[in-house]
Structure formats: structure tokens, C-alpha cells
Structure 1
Amino acid sequence: MELVHLLRAVTVEFGLRQAEFAARNGMHPTDVRALICLLDAARAAEPATAGLLGARLGLNSAGTTAVIDRLERLGHVARIRDGHDRRRVLLRVEPEAIRLGREFFAALTDGLLDVLDSFDPAERDTVHRFLTAAHAVFTPEPRP
């Protein structure tokens, strides 16, 4: 249970940093989670659609649209037509939003990378396996 409690403590602290970032940049904490989802989709080469975002955030279509509208008004997200299917709209995180995130979270990211550098490859593999399995526990099964 000690590891479960530590994981919970880390997620609470990370949530607090996300809320601080949101407040400093005129966003709702859900907006920050949306940006993270969109950045993760881009990293995984997944088409970032409103449907994907709503599913990942657990929002209905109205809530998803509200988040996208807020982020678009702030200049953090752009709606772009899919080059392969012009009927589909994709979401792209704008460079300024990426810059703001990097600027705010750089020290935390660097600190985590320093910690990971102190682990040998086998330890990093164990941490990776644990975090991957923990993520699977918390990730709901996709609805048919």
C-alpha cells in the first residue's frame, strides 16, 4: 500500500501543478488535461479529433466543444481540416501553448529526468512496467 499511497501523492502534486499552470494562463484545469491529451495523441501519431478528446476526458459532446472553443479562443489549439478526409476536423496544439507548457514544466521534467538517470536500465524497466500497468488499471475500457 505504501507504493499506492506514493503514487496517489505524486498524482495529487502533479494535479496541483497543472491547476497552477491553468490559473496562470487563464485556463480551466480541464483545458490543461485536454492539451496533454492532444499532445499525447500527436506523439502517438493518432488523429486528434473532438471525439477522441471527449472520450479521453470523459466529456459529452457539448463539454468537449466548450473545451475546444476555450482553447481556440486562447490561441492554444487550432481546428484544421484533415488532408485525407476534408469532412473531418483535427485538433492541433499551437506552438505558443507548447512553449508555455515547456517553460512552466521544464524544471519538473528536468528533475524527473535527473531521477531517472540515477536508475540503472533494469530499474527503469521495472518503473516502466509498473507505471504502464498502473495506467491500464485506471484506463477505462473503450465503449463499443
Structure 2
Amino acid sequence: MQPDMEIVHLLRAAAVELGLHSARFAQHNGMHPTDVRALIALMDARRAGAETTAGRLGAALGLNSAGTTALLDRLERAGHVRRVRGETDRRRVVVEVTDGAVDLGWAFFGPLIERSVELLRGYDDHQRAAIRDFLDGVRTAAAEGTHTPPTDTSQREPQHGNTR
């Protein structure tokens, strides 16, 4: 196997394991996987100091208006989010993740996050920058792929030497 493909396969395996870890969190807390993705998006926005409207959250998750409303109603009933007036524009309603949801997430994901940070400490600044650039590039490529309609691969000839 080519070294580059080995790294791609390891990344895919890590993505699968992270997805399974997230699914265990969702199941353990009576959530849908989309609920978890929404909470992650809201936590990322909170960390960045950005306000998130329902529309922006729905667009980020690929949900229509009705789906977004159902999601937010579910998360609000569970005490994970609240709808509040925007700081910059009081006419807007924004969605905030609650401290309780952050604490719940940290209790489950904290050990994995701490282990990841511990692993990164084994790399120098240059290596961490390369890792960051690679992961950001993969994230960007994956995000760009969400805007491309799926193609019918059933008629496509297999590519020799390229294991999927």
C-alpha cells in the first residue's frame, strides 16, 4: 500500500471511530446523531464568539426549516440550548448552548480530548502545523463535497490499484 493511502485509510478509520464514539454519546443521552452535531456546531460558535441563528444552524446541518425547528425544540426541552435575543441585533433570535450541555459533553468527550492533546504534545511546532494544515485541507475538501450531487457509481469501472 502506498504511504499516502495508508494515511488516508488511517484518517478514515479515525473518522469512523469518532463517529461511533459520538453515536455512543447520543445513545447514552437519548439524542439523535443530528442533535450531537448541532451541539458541536453551537459549541464551536460559542468558542468563536459568534451568534448562531436557527437558520444558520439549519444550513450548517443541511436541515430545512421544519427540521431545524424540531431539532431546536427537542434540544431546548432537554435543557441543552436556549433561544435568546442577539447581542448585536436585539431583533434577532439566536441559539445558545447551555453550560449544562457543555458539561455533559466534556464529561463524555473530555478523556478523548485530553488524550488527543497529550498525543499532540509529542510533536514539535512544525509537525503540529503540518497536521493542522492537513486536517484543515481534508475538512475543507469534505465540506466542498457536500455541495456536489452524488453520482451513480454503479456503472463506473473499478480503478485498479486504488483500494476504497
Gaps of 5+ in 2: 148-164
Tell whether 2:70 aligns with 1:66.
yes
Provide Cα deviations, 1:71-121, integer angstroms capped at 9, x if missing partner.
000000000011332321111111111111001011101110110001111
Tell whether 2:107 aligns with 1:103.
yes
So what's the TM-score if we normalise by structure 2?
A: 0.82
Correspondent of 2:56 among 52, 55, 60? 52
Q: Please give the alpha-carbon distance, in whole angstroms, between the structure 2 residues aligned to 1:141 and 1:111.
A: 30
Q: Please give the alpha-carbon distance, in whole angstroms, between the structure 1 residues aligned to 2:146 and 2:113.
A: 30
Q: Which amino acid aligns with 2:60?
A: R
Matching residue of 1:131: 135
Question: By how many angstroms is 1:58 displaced?
Answer: 0.8
Larger-Rg structure? 2
Runs of at least 4 residues off by over 3 Å = 140-143
Tell whether 2:92 aligns with 1:88.
yes
Tell whether 2:106 aligns with 1:116.
no
Task: Write 1 or 2 for the structure with the bigger share of helix.
Answer: 1
> Does 110-119 or 84-93 show the bigger shift?
84-93
Provide Cα deviations, 1:1-60, integer angstroms capped at 9, x if missing partner.
211111111111111111111111111111000000011111222211111111111111
**RMSD (Å) for aligned C-alpha atoms:** 1.6
Matching residue of 2:37: 33
Q: Which amino acid aligns with 1:137?
A: A
Residues 22/5 of structure 1: CA separation in 2 closer, same or farther (3 Å cut):
same
Question: By how many angstroms is 1:142 displaced?
Answer: 10
Tell whether 2:11 aligns with 1:7.
yes
Q: Please give the alpha-carbon distance, in whole angstroms, between the structure 1 residues aligned to 2:145 and 2:16.
A: 23
Q: Please give the alpha-carbon distance, in whole angstroms, between the structure 1 residues aligned to 2:144 and 2:71.
A: 21
Q: Which amino acid aligns with 2:62?
A: G
Q: Please give the alpha-carbon distance, in whole angstroms, between the structure 1 residues aligned to 2:20 and 2:145.
A: 27
Identity value in percent: 52
Q: Please give the alpha-carbon distance, in whole angstroms, between the structure 2 residues aligned to 1:140 and 1:53.
A: 17
